Structure 1
Amino acid sequence: MTAGNSVRVVAAGDHFVLPSLITRAVEHEVERARVTELELGWPLEPFGPVAEVQEASDAEDAMVEALAGAQVLVTQMGPVTEKVLAACPDLRLVVVCRGGPVNVNLEAAKQRDVRVCFAPGRNAAATAEFTVGMMLAALRRIPQAHGPLARQGSWEGATYYTYEQSGLELEDLPVGLVGYGAVGSRVARVLCAFGARVMVYDPYVHGEIHGLRVTSLDELLRRSRVITLHARLTPETRGLIGARELGLLPSGAVVVNVARGPLLDEAALCDALESGQVSAAALDTYEREPLPAQSRLLGLTDRVVLTPHLGGASRAVAEKAARIAAEEVGRWVRGEPLAHCLT
């Protein structure tokens, strides 16, 4: 807290959560904020591991330079590593414009009495909408029909009107959700409106849900013509859906993953797609990002819908993330309890 004095803030945005969005939101919340802007390269430059943190822009030196004398950092992809924290002794608050601060060394921040906050729920609606869109695209073969007509003027996509190649509709379709958090619960509501037979497996959720609660993952898989993943990535959920689990699905099932790539064993999925056990998949996230040029998925484009991690990409998400982060800065300046603090 600054006890009425001006507070120096670094708005380390990127090409999605723009520095200017962060600046406007902070200035709306904090009357005496002095904001310095830094623009990082994501998403035009992929994130990745930086020193000991994950999913960050490779910009430690730029961060150290920008943070000189600053008390507050607001960022989405800035690497807050041991090196950065050690070089910035004035830093007291880090607010990350995302659901989990994987780009922050939390232990090092705690040792230096730096508070670390995050922005939960900022992309739940966008990701849920994108999930349903990906599901429809895979079920009805929309990209495969679009490509020949748009690129070559070919009507060959009409083959998807034959009985053998026509897709499935959501009404009365058994759809299984693995996870029922902020995104999964929204997907369930939308699918129920379509008339799908929604089933949910989430051992951590209690109370009423949209759909039928299923008590085991195996039971969910056996009963679902479509599965969509919404679990958090933890050591326990990494590789949650592998060869054994895919083998439990009804033959010709569809798999959707707009959550975290490592929830799904990609090699096992490719095997299942090649054998016909899985008829189609829609993926927005991958075990490795960007997707390697040698990925087997790229040889299965007649059966897959692939997008480059766009589930949370809406303007409303960027604006909401900046606002949630700025509200946390305002609470810190006023000496109020922080709403989403991890240290």
Structure 2
Amino acid sequence: MLTAGDNFVLDSLLQDALTSVIPAASLDVTHHTLPWPDVPFGPIGEVIEASGDEDRLIEALRGVEVCVTQMAPFTERVIAASPDLRLVCVSRGGPVNVNLEAATAHGVTVTSAPGRNAEATAEHTLAMMLSAMRRIPQTNADLNAGVWRGDYYRYENVGPELEGATVGLVGYGAIGRRVTRMLNGFGAEVLVFDPYVDQDQLGSHARAVGFDDLLARSSIITLHARVTPETTGMMGRDQIAALSPGAVIVNCARGALLDYDALCDALDSGHLFGAAFDVFPEEPIPASSRLLTTPNIVMTPHLAGASKATALNAARIVAEDVRRYLDGEPLLYAANPEASAHRRSLSGGDRG
């Protein structure tokens, strides 16, 4: 077994999680540490958001049946060069660093850890929302520079409160549900647009509405949708223009959901009060990006899910699926459950 940890989901956390659910006598674990986040992730071969080197990973996988990782690049080349591999457990919400088609073709089952960072991301979303509404980063920077700006108190420069505000959520998954709970505590009215959620599921916590209605009624918009062909660019120029003057947009989901150029135009014109982003169309942000010069934007470098609890949750979730695999039980979060059957057809009955 191989742990391919990094500097967030540590090899030691993965090892401890494994030994907490699997007898030590059943474990023969080696470690292979990846450079993320000290070195940004990016595309490697045909996979995205991966970290490390294919050749070093291939060497580390020699004779390995099970690998638990967060960022290792499981490209077609790596998978094809690892004939003993049966299971890859990715400690992320989705296995974007794995070529699933190649894994399935080679009979390698892939799992992930959905919901691992839901609480951390929800908390960060609220922090970003409040920061944009109350100009916290800007005023802090001024004070650090020795500048006391009384004009922040002018009526046209102050922001809204959450108490009594109408907040629109685009998407109502694990993170959206937690954000709704927090907003309820602030006394906000919550509207939700999610084609897969109806009013019965929302209960008294929020109201289900259409997308156009949500845009027209919300003074704050926060994005929590997955990126699909239907959601890519869903917050474009027309949708931003449909927001009421002085609105705030928060995106801690994925950069592809939002037209950032149109948003910068809306901030420059004064149509929007502010915006807060943890995700971007290109990461790291290029030095030429308008996001670095447009006023009233709060930004963090894709770390909404970064908490100690997230790392511990990630290790715990993948360790449980490794235990299930070793005990012959159904896996919790298999992304390609058909791989095990394909493996048996290839090898005539290997465990899978």
Shorter-chain TM-score above 0.5: yes
Correspondence for 1:80: 74
1:204 and 2:196 correspond: yes
C-alpha deviation, 1:182, in angstroms: 0.3
Instruction: Pick the aligned partner of 2:120 from 118, 126, 139.
Output: 126
> Is the contact made by 2:120 and 2:307 (CA closer than 8 Å) also made in structure 1?
yes
C-alpha deviation, 1:41, in angstroms: 1.1
> Is the contact made by 1:160 and 1:167 (CA closer than 8 Å) also made in structure 2?
no
- Secondary structure of the corresponding residue to residue 320 of structure 1: helix
Q: C-alpha distance in 2, partners of 1:285/1:169?
A: 24
1:312 and 2:274 correspond: no
- Secondary structure of the corresponding residue to residue 88 of structure 2: strand
Q: C-alpha distance in 2, partners of 1:226/1:62?
A: 46
> Is the contact made by 1:94 and 1:117 (CA closer than 8 Å) also made in structure 2?
yes
* Letter matched to residue 338 of structure 1: L
Correspondence for 1:335: 328
Aligned ranges for residues 148-187 of structure 1 at < 5 Å? 148-150=142-144, 152-156=145-149, 158-187=150-179
CA distances 1:290-322 after superposition (whole Å, capped 9, x unpaired)? 11111101002x310010001000000001100
How many residue pairs get aligned? The number is: 331
Correspondence for 2:15: 23
Aligned ranges for residues 127-276 of structure 1 at < 5 Å? 127-150=121-144, 152-156=145-149, 158-206=150-198, 207-209=200-202, 210-214=205-209, 216-276=210-270
Correspondence for 1:324: 317
Correspondence for 2:31: 37
Q: C-alpha distance in 2, partners of 1:325/1:15?
A: 17
Correspondence for 2:92: 98
C-alpha deviation, 1:146, in angstroms: 0.4
Q: C-alpha distance in 2, partners of 1:222/1:254?
A: 13
Instruction: Pick the aligned partner of 1:303 from 296, 301, 318.
Output: 296
- Secondary structure of the corresponding residue to residue 29 of structure 2: strand
User: Unaligned 5+ residue runs, structure 1?
Assistant: 1-8
CA distances 1:98-135 after superposition (whole Å, capped 9, x unpaired)? 01001101111111111111101100000000000000
- Secondary structure of the corresponding residue to residue 199 of structure 1: strand
- Secondary structure of the corresponding residue to residue 156 of structure 2: coil
C-alpha deviation, 1:234, in angstroms: 1.1
- Secondary structure of the corresponding residue to residue 274 of structure 2: strand
* Letter matched to residue 137 of structure 1: S
C-alpha deviation, 1:252, in angstroms: 1.6
CA RMSD of aligned residues (A): 0.9
Q: C-alpha distance in 2, partners of 1:159/1:173?
A: 24
C-alpha deviation, 1:30, in angstroms: 2.0
Aligned ranges for residues 271-282 of structure 1 at < 5 Å? 271-282=265-276
C-alpha deviation, 1:205, in angstroms: 1.3
* Letter matched to residue 327 of structure 1: E
CA distances 1:223-278 after superposition (whole Å, capped 9, x unpaired)? 11110000001121111100010010001211000000110011111111111121
C-alpha deviation, 1:208, in angstroms: 2.8
Correspondence for 1:53: 47
Q: C-alpha distance in 2, partners of 1:160/1:310?
A: 28
> Is the contact made by 1:160 and 1:166 (CA closer than 8 Å) also made in structure 2?
yes
